[in-house]
Amino acid sequence: MIGQFIAMPDQFRLDHPAIDMQHEVLFALYNELKISQEDHEMAFDLGDIFLGLNGYVATHFLFEEELMAAFHYTDTAMHHEEHRRLSENVALLHNRFKQAKTLPEQQQIANDVAQFLLNWLAHHIAEVDRKLVRHLNTLPAALS
Ligand SMILES: [Fe+2]
């Protein structure tokens, strides 16, 4: 099953190549998690998912926040606050994972991470990031 890839659904595409490419990484992590949960022959490795997520929140959020500053986005405070909450939730889930001793506990955390990532895609990307990209796409210089 390794290498199985499902394309990011169009509803999460925002028409900004760099941001879309970064959101594909998040969707790929969600895919990896679902495949790990469904494929019982595959080693269940939530640790790798957290490794990917921790690096992702640091670089991706900084990228968007630099664009907001450079292109004078007016809803910056609300968007920053959402990023802060998402980062905090990743840290909380990761701490739960580090303390989980049993497989059922890990499976419960995997379910919670899957739900968290789905909410991130459906709310933050499809609504909050979409609003940012709408602003950026009115400025041709921001499309890179
Ligand atoms: Fe964002």
pLDDT at 20 over 70: yes
Give me the architecture of the 19-37+46-142 domain, per CATH: Up-down Bundle (1.20)
Instruction: Name the residue among 15, 11, 12 with its Cα closest to residue 137.
Output: 15
The per-residue pLDDT for 144 is 57
How much distance in Å is there from the Cα of 64 to the middle of ligand 1? 6
CA dist 8 and 92 (Å) reads 26
How much distance in Å is there from the Cα of 82 to the middle of ligand 1? 7
Q: What is the pLDDT confidence band of residue 59, given thresholds at 50, 70 and 90?
A: very high
Q: What is the pLDDT confidence band of residue 53, given thresholds at 50, 70 and 90?
A: very high
CA dist 21 and 23 (Å) reads 5
CA dist 1 and 32 (Å) reads 10
User: Three-class SS of residue 140?
Assistant: helix
How much distance in Å is there from the Cα of 38 to the middle of ligand 1? 29
Region for residue 15 given its phi and psi (left: phi exceeds 0; alpha: psi -120 to 50; beta: otherwise): left
2 vs 60, higher pLDDT: 60
Mean pLDDT, range 55-81, rounded to an integer: 95
Whether the pTM exceeds 0.85: the reply is yes
Q: State the sign of the Cα–Cα–Cα–Cα dihedral 86, 89, 93, 99.
A: positive
The per-residue pLDDT for 1 is 43
Cβ-contact 12, 27 below 8 angstroms: yes
pLDDT at 104 over 90: no
Q: What is the pLDDT confidence band of residue 2, given thresholds at 50, 70 and 90?
A: very low
User: φ, ψ for residue 103 (rounded to 5)?
Assistant: -60, -45
pLDDT at 64 over 80: yes
Q: What is the pLDDT confidence band of residue 107, given thresholds at 50, 70 and 90?
A: confident
User: Three-class SS of residue 109?
Assistant: helix
Average pLDDT score over the chain: 88
pLDDT at 95 over 60: yes
78: burial class by Cβ within 10 Å (0-12, 13-18, 19+)? exposed
Every domain of the chain and the residues it spans: 19-37+46-142
How much distance in Å is there from the Cα of 138 to the middle of ligand 1? 18
